[in-house]
Structure 1
Amino acid sequence: MTREITVHGTVADGFEAVREEFAAVVTGERDDYEGQLCVYVHGRRVVDLWAGEGVAGDSLYGVYAATKGAAHLVAALLVQDGTLELDRKVTYYWPEFAAEGKGALTLRELLSHRAGLIGTDGGFTLAELADDRAIAERLADQRPFWRPGTAFGCHALVIGALSGEVIRRATGRTVQELYQERIRAPYGLDFHLGLPAGREPGFRSAQPMLPTAAQQALLDGQPTGPHTLAAIAFNRHGVEPTDLEDLANQRLIRAVGPASVGGVASARGLAGMYAAAISEMDGKAPLLKEDTVAEFGQIHSVGHDLVTRLHRSFGLGFQATADTWHPFLGAGAIGHSGANGVQSFADPRAGLAYGYTRRRFAFPGGAAPENDRLVGAVHRAALSAR
């Protein structure tokens, strides 16, 4: 028996079509759907919707790779400050990184997923995946899986640890500390890199979604060997293979907030962070200057991703959201999706900041398919509201 799912929340005048689209998504989903949608335009919240049994606007979800957006907003701030220089070699900050032929790699190349350090030969334990410094120490000694700078591939579980170690060497502070101090706390964002124990009751555990027969056939056609680049990048080849769907359900991961995959957020937190990045918020100037947004949003790696074997595009730390996911967005949109269907980004040309969460994993990973409909409705409304 199908359960009727009620949409809660509010939309501003001119964004009624977004509520209708969200309601259509909810109706078309399984009867245990849970999700949230939040949108800001020029620093003003214009959409705040949620649906699902037991869900509220401030419920928290694991956001997996969307965490990378928070980590690399910190990196962008440090470049803007002059603390980091994109075209310096990584070894300027982190001398041990030079092992195994990695000495020529620049910070710019590292941030654009060109290092070839997608994992280690032996894999990581869960405790290591929760510890960015442990990951960085292992990777400093690792031989790259392709010649650094010659190609790119998603450094799914480790890019935040790599950039985070550069940040720690340059500042003496962790990504998590700087994010809390400069971004999360000043704006009161419900986007945490390290979830306090007191917020645990608001966390909604991630749940798997079984693929349809057609989707399973597609999966069966993908390379699944234990030593493929994908297996290494997603840590499926070691003595403790990673169950990605269960990763956010581990309190160890949530408590520490590793900078590649450990973030916990609501849609409000995701959208609020990107709104603060590009727009005036609460009387505060945008976190990033226009030139910084343009630098980090410029496409640096595009084409065949050696890990996912899909067409992908990266700026610096961020996905190039318009090319990878939503081609109608403005050039230079920055953001990052998450493996469980989460999507989050800023489109600076439209003044748009978007956050979407869902509890149940969506096939095949990354931004869930319904984001195409939702982002389209949001973008049309934002342009009409000018």
Structure 2
Amino acid sequence: MTREIRVQGTVADGYEAVREEFTDVLANELPEYEGQLAAYVRGRRVVDLWVGPDVTAESLYGVYSSSKGAAHLVVALLVQDGVLDLDRAVAAYWPEFAAEGKGAVTLRELLAHRAGVAGSDSGFSSEELADDRAVAARLASQRPFWRPGAAFGYHAFAIGALAGEVVFRATGRTLREVYEERVRAPFGLDFFLGLPEEQEGRFRSVQPMAPTPEQAALLAAAPPQPQSLGSIAFNRHIPEPTDLEALPNSRLVRAEGPASIGGVASARGLAGMYAAAVTGIGGREALLTADTVTGFGQVQSVGHDLVSGTVKAFAVGFQATSVYVYPFLGAGTIGHSGAGGSQAFADPRSGLAYGYTRRRFAYPGGPAVENERLVRAVHEAALGAG
């Protein structure tokens, strides 16, 4: 039975089909829904929609691994500046990382999830997970779980801390500080790595969504293995395993903003960051040159991911979004999704920057399935608008 849905917000001329698609998805597929959808095309905001009780365009959500996009943008800026070199050994910036046979791992390999330190043998406390420098200190001495460079596996809770330590060693400033000064504050983005206390009233806590009977049956047939590489990467192999769904509901996580998992954003903030990076917004030039975007969009790892056990593709840090998620997007699209269902990316060929948030955790994690329809609708409208 179709439900009546009240979608709020605006779309530009030529993007009416996006509002229709958003409304149809909500009415027919998603019970008790709350979320936001935003998009920019060549620096102009063309989609700005939201739905749900007490929700506004300024509401903020935990975006899980979409946070990694902010971390990788900081690295891209520093590479563009000549401060970092992708093909230099991580240990050249961070000597302690050379322990246990990691001395030859380059920054490029690290960002491509090829370093083999997807987690810690002994795991992390909740306090450590909120502190990127504490995570990095532990991982520096960790023996790799595979020979570095021989394969890849998603460094789910680790990559932001690892990249952040390289940034700190090279600049003397934390990744969060560089992001705030060069990205978030200049563009006024509602995408925070470290949510100020005065912004707490805008945060919407995560609510779990129960699996469908079909999903529950699949989970029962293949239950998680507590000592598997996937469990280690998601800190599930310890006596008090991390509850991924609940992470953004921790004020400590929101306040510290760990770059792998701790970002808080609106859809406007997600889309705005990628628009600022690739096309520029508000009369400001793009943060990244075309050459930098192209270089960071080149696929570095593709195939069987040792952590997830599925086929994935990574560019330089960013997910290779057009390779294995939305193949209709332009080649070289850079972005990152989040476990709760968020999705964000920039397609430099069409000039599209996309951001999506939702409150209910999207079982079983990763970009929520409705993104397929929404991304396609926005992309087609962008192409039609020329």
Q: TM-score, normalised by structure 1?
A: 0.98
Q: 1:24 and 2:24 equivalent?
A: yes
Alpha-carbon displacement from aligned partner over 1:330-350 (angstroms, at most 9, x marks no partner): 000000000011000000000
**Separation of aligned partners in 2, 1:336 and 1:103:** 28
Contact 1:25–1:370 (8 Å) recurs in 2? yes
- 1:207 Cα shift? 1.1
- 1:93 Cα shift? 0.1
- 1:361 Cα shift? 1.1
User: Structure 2: 5+ residue runs without aligned partners?
Assistant: none
Q: Which amino acid aligns with 2:5?
A: I
**Separation of aligned partners in 2, 1:64 and 1:335:** 13
1:7 alignment partner in structure 2? 7
Contact 1:122–1:239 (8 Å) recurs in 2? no
1:369 alignment partner in structure 2? 369
- 1:25 Cα shift? 1.1
- 1:2 Cα shift? 8.7
1:278 alignment partner in structure 2? 278
1:1-386 counterparts in 2 under 5 A? Answer: 4-222=4-222, 224-386=224-386
Contact 1:124–1:240 (8 Å) recurs in 2? no
- 1:325 Cα shift? 1.0
**Separation of aligned partners in 2, 1:347 and 1:376:** 12
- 1:210 Cα shift? 1.0
**Separation of aligned partners in 1, 2:72 and 2:117:** 18
**Separation of aligned partners in 1, 2:12 and 2:4:** 25
Identity over aligned pairs, percent: 68
Contact 1:152–1:305 (8 Å) recurs in 2? yes
**Separation of aligned partners in 2, 1:281 and 1:131:** 32
**Separation of aligned partners in 1, 2:40 and 2:362:** 24
Q: Which amino acid aligns with 1:99?
A: A
- 1:282 Cα shift? 1.8
- 1:41 Cα shift? 0.1
CA RMSD of aligned residues (A): 1.1
- 1:30 Cα shift? 3.8
Alpha-carbon displacement from aligned partner over 1:73-106 (angstroms, at most 9, x marks no partner): 0000000000000000011000000111111100
Contact 1:3–1:31 (8 Å) recurs in 2? no
**Separation of aligned partners in 1, 2:316 and 2:221:** 31
User: Structure 1: 5+ residue runs without aligned partners?
Assistant: none
Alpha-carbon displacement from aligned partner over 1:246-283 (angstroms, at most 9, x marks no partner): 00000000001001000000000000000001113222
Contact 1:123–1:232 (8 Å) recurs in 2? yes
| Counterpart secondary structure, 1:84 | coil
Q: TM-score, normalised by structure 2?
A: 0.98
**Separation of aligned partners in 2, 1:149 and 1:98:** 14
* Number of equivalences: 386
- 1:3 Cα shift? 6.5
Q: Which moved more, 1:361-370 or 1:25-34?
A: 25-34
Contact 1:190–1:269 (8 Å) recurs in 2? yes
**Separation of aligned partners in 2, 1:221 and 1:7:** 38
Contact 1:2–1:31 (8 Å) recurs in 2? no
**Separation of aligned partners in 2, 1:143 and 1:299:** 26
| Counterpart secondary structure, 1:230 | helix
Q: Which amino acid aligns with 1:139?
A: L
| Counterpart secondary structure, 1:65 | helix
Q: Which amino acid aligns with 2:354?
A: Y
Alpha-carbon displacement from aligned partner over 1:178-211 (angstroms, at most 9, x marks no partner): 0000000000000000001111011000111111
**Separation of aligned partners in 2, 1:91 and 1:135:** 16
Alpha-carbon displacement from aligned partner over 1:283-334 (angstroms, at most 9, x marks no partner): 2111000110011110000000111111100011100001121000000000
